[in-house]
Amino acid sequence: MAPTREKSLSEREFELLLEGAGRIDEPVQRLESRAAILIGGRLGLRPGETTHLSSSWIDHERQMIRIPEHHACTKGRDGGLCGYCRQAIEQRLRHDPDSIFEDFADLYWLPKTDAAARTVPFHFSYRVQVAIDLLITEHGGWPYSFSTLQRRLNAALDLAPSLSRNATSLHGLRATAASYHASRGLDLAALRAMFGWEDIATARQYLNVDGAMTRRALDNIH
């Protein structure tokens, strides 16, 4: 699925969402909410990627997240597969009815596509650096299931001034990140690599979504 562009937040709306996260009373939940918003809305990680984020993915020296080709999921009950991975397997079974659940269980978690196994830099933002460092220090990565990730976003939306609960979504945060970097001039190849898209047309739809690139080009010549 391509990012849900209509759920993309403007820069002002994104700041309001972070303000909402900052109003969460419980300190650890506040940290988790900010981290989830920044990882989704500035790095563009897919929800399944954030859910399975581990300290082993973080290259602190180079300030990069390395999303692997496989990561054993232990986010479910008694350290088993989480609901997100189970749903992904069930979807595969619908397309391969001759297989059984156990045929795929050892494969998960998997990135969505081959292109999704990638390296995502985070050196460009101190806020993202701090959020990742605190998340790793507190939990060693994202500690919960997909449903908790959704709850942390909803809590921030509920407390964000001037934003409704349906202002964005977890996939909308990814679209927010794509629009943010495209508007700052990240070229087509780099945008595609950062977001792990197989289809270059997906990257192209963000290149001039709000006229920012045109405005910047005009500024450079006038």
Q: Mind listing the pLDDT tens digit for each residue in 167-182?
A: 999 999 999 999 999 8
3: pLDDT strictly greater than 60: no
Give the C-alpha separation, 90 to 23, whole Å.
Answer: 38
Half-sphere exposure of 89 (CA within 13 A, CB side): 18
What is the C-alpha separation between 66 and 30, in angstroms, rounded?
Answer: 25
Nearest to 87 by CA among 114, 109, 118, 68: 109
- Asked if 19 and 162 touch (Cβ cutoff 8 Å), the reply is no
Using CB atoms within 10 Å of the CB of residue 150, give its burial: 0 to 12 exposed, 13 to 18 middle, 19+ buried. middle
Under the banding of pLDDT at 50, 70 and 90, the label for residue 216 is low
Looking at every residue in the chain, the average pLDDT score rounds to 91
Q: Quick one: pLDDT at residue 183?
A: 86
Question: What is the value of pTM for the model shown?
Answer: 0.89
What pLDDT, on a 0 to 100 scale, did the predictor assign at position 2? 45
Rounded Cα gap, residues 83 and 51, in angstroms? 11
User: How far apart, in whole angstroms, are the C-alpha atoms of residue 145 and residue 34?
Assistant: 17
Residue 1: pLDDT band by 50, 70, 90 thresholds?
A: very low
Q: What distances in angstroms separate CA 28 from CA 33, 76, 100, 189, one per listed residue? A: 9, 21, 39, 37
Nearest residue to 157 (alpha-carbon basis) of 1, 2, 40: 40
27 vs 16: CA distance, rounded Å: 19
